[in-house]
Amino acid sequence: MHDIPHPLFSGIVCRMCAEQDPHPLLDFGPQPIAHRILESPAAPEERFPLSVHICPACGLVQNLQPIDPAILYRQYNYCFSSWKPQPHAAEEVVLLKEHLGGGAIFEVGCNDGMFLEKLHQAGFAPVVGVEPNPVAGETARAKGFTVYSSILTEAVCRDAVHRHGRFKAVVIREVLEHIEDLHHAFLLMESMLDEDGVLLIEVPDIGMAMPHGDCSVLWEEHVNFFTRPVLRRLLGMRGFAPIIWRHYDLFSGGVMMVLADRGVLAEEENSAGPTLEQGLAYANQVHQYAERLSWTLRRWREAGGSVVMYGVGARACTVVNALELGRYIDLSVDDQIERQGKFMPGSRLPIHDPRALTILTSPLLVLLAVNSENETRVKERIAALRKDAETLSLCSPTDIRGELASLTTRLESVLQEADATRGEWSAVAARAARHPLSRLRFPHFLADTSAKRIKSA
């Protein structure tokens, strides 16, 4: 990570409230595009600056150096709505049904049509979407839905209203965090709404990641990082007031949903957050977490163990590259067959089927970078493949600092005892099997042979 002089960009303003010179928080230097899986270990790769700032006035954490969307979303075919469990989607449909009864709905960034399909099944009609990804958009159109192949533009909005009339709701799920011009996006959505229409907005909640020092949520696709007070303030600026809030401990470190209609926020609801002090505390926690994690992985490897990354999504690639963890990891595995046989961006770690865990015979530490709703299932699969494997979560809302502290403490104990008793092989070996990390007790004896086994595997 790099230090940032302040102010970094003289004259640059907050994209939400136009405050001058947002304060720098974290700079990870040039980074590859996290979702761009490599076809070969020698494939050429572009890198772009990745840093985030916080606005002291409104609290919006933001990336002020976004990548040109024409570059960013080229070859973007490894992330579809239907790939990840979304148990909360059904509740969002129910909330719309209870509030509206029925009517026309437009979805911004409808991806492969998963949510459009749920709306259609609930009796909403027509349901229309816009999706810039050609592969995802074609999948949605194949389901019978009208889906514009574009980003949201004035032309799309005019045509949608001309063909279908104004909509009872505009839905924008996991999209607003990607948009540079927030106020223009709201203007476009407002232009399609009935006078009594509602917005349903779902965005990642960085407020869940900040207390943990979790930087995995900061990948380059997202240029806005919302908390509930910040999103509420943005709604107020656009003349909307929340009707219903929901929070879900799901992908992206936790997401929040708000259903809002046109109205005026109560004064006490128009508060900002997080504060500059909270932002700086978050940055400090990221640095501390990075140092402790690197120490733990390095010592694990020195003790003869192997390290595997489970999951190669955007959060996994971001944390590996931003914290420079690739040098400590032997390989990666992922459940999606579309990713297997390819390579992680930046680190260029090979991506295998999870059954590759059985190849490594040395003590195994599996780093989990999967959505929280999948962690239990993934741990069960790891235990079935390697019952002796240790796991360590890298993504909030899991208590990543607590898990790391626990593993580090146990590892330190093992290594200290091994150093204290080095040379007393028989006495130590008699006690080895009783310790949960017993196979790491002899770092000075095992390191060379384990390294050879890893290379041969």
In angstroms, rounded to a whole number, what is the distance separating the alpha carbons of residues 334 and 141?
A: 28
Chosen CATH of 81-273 out of 3.40.50.300, 3.90.226.10, 3.40.50.720, 3.40.50.150:
3.40.50.150
CB atoms within 10 A of CB 54: 25
Domains 81-273 and 280-456 share a fold: yes
SS3 content of the chain, % helix, strand, coil (to 5): 40, 20, 40
Per-residue pLDDT of the chain (457 residues; tens, 9 = 90+): 544 333 344 458 999 999 998 999 999 999 999 989 999 999 999 999 999 999 999 999 999 999 988 888 766 655 566 656 688 899 999 999 999 999 999 999 999 999 999 999 999 999 999 998 888 899 999 999 999 999 999 999 999 999 999 999 999 999 999 999 999 999 999 999 999 999 999 999 999 899 999 999 999 999 999 999 999 999 999 999 999 999 988 765 689 999 999 987 665 555 667 899 999 999 999 999 999 999 999 999 999 999 999 999 999 999 999 999 999 999 999 999 989 999 999 999 999 999 999 999 999 999 999 887 788 999 999 999 999 999 999 999 899 999 999 999 988 888 777 666 554 434 444 444 444 454 443 333 333 333 333 333 3
Q: Helix, strand, or coil here: 205? A: strand
In angstroms, rounded to a whole number, what is the distance separating the alpha carbons of residues 320 and 169?
A: 39
CB atoms within 10 A of CB 269: 14
The pLDDT value recorded for residue 422 is: 52
Amino acid of residue 107? E
Q: Helix, strand, or coil here: 260? A: strand
Instruction: State the sign of the Cα–Cα–Cα–Cα dihedral 241, 243, 249, 252.
Output: negative
The pLDDT value recorded for residue 249 is: 80
Torsion of CA 126, 128, 254, 18, to 10 degrees: -120
Instruction: Compute the C-alpha angle 173/177/180, nearest 5°.
Output: 125
Contact (CB, 8 A) for 424 and 289: no
Instruction: State the sign of the Cα–Cα–Cα–Cα dihedral 101, 106, 109, 113.
Output: positive
The pLDDT value recorded for residue 421 is: 57
The pLDDT value recorded for residue 195 is: 93
Q: Note the Cα 308 to chain centre separation in Å.
A: 19
Fold of 280-456: Rossmann fold (3.40.50)
In angstroms, rounded to a whole number, what is the distance separating the alpha carbons of residues 96 and 99?
A: 5
Beta strands in 134-192 (DSSP E): 146-148, 167-173
Residue boundaries of the structural domains of the chain: 81-273, 280-456
In angstroms, rounded to a whole number, what is the distance separating the alpha carbons of residues 313 and 371?
A: 9
Beta-bridged to residue 368, according to DSSP, are 310, 393
Beta-bridged to residue 30, according to DSSP, are 49
Q: Check whether the bond before 87 is cis (ω within 30° of 0).
A: no
Q: Note the Cα 427 to chain centre separation in Å.
A: 47
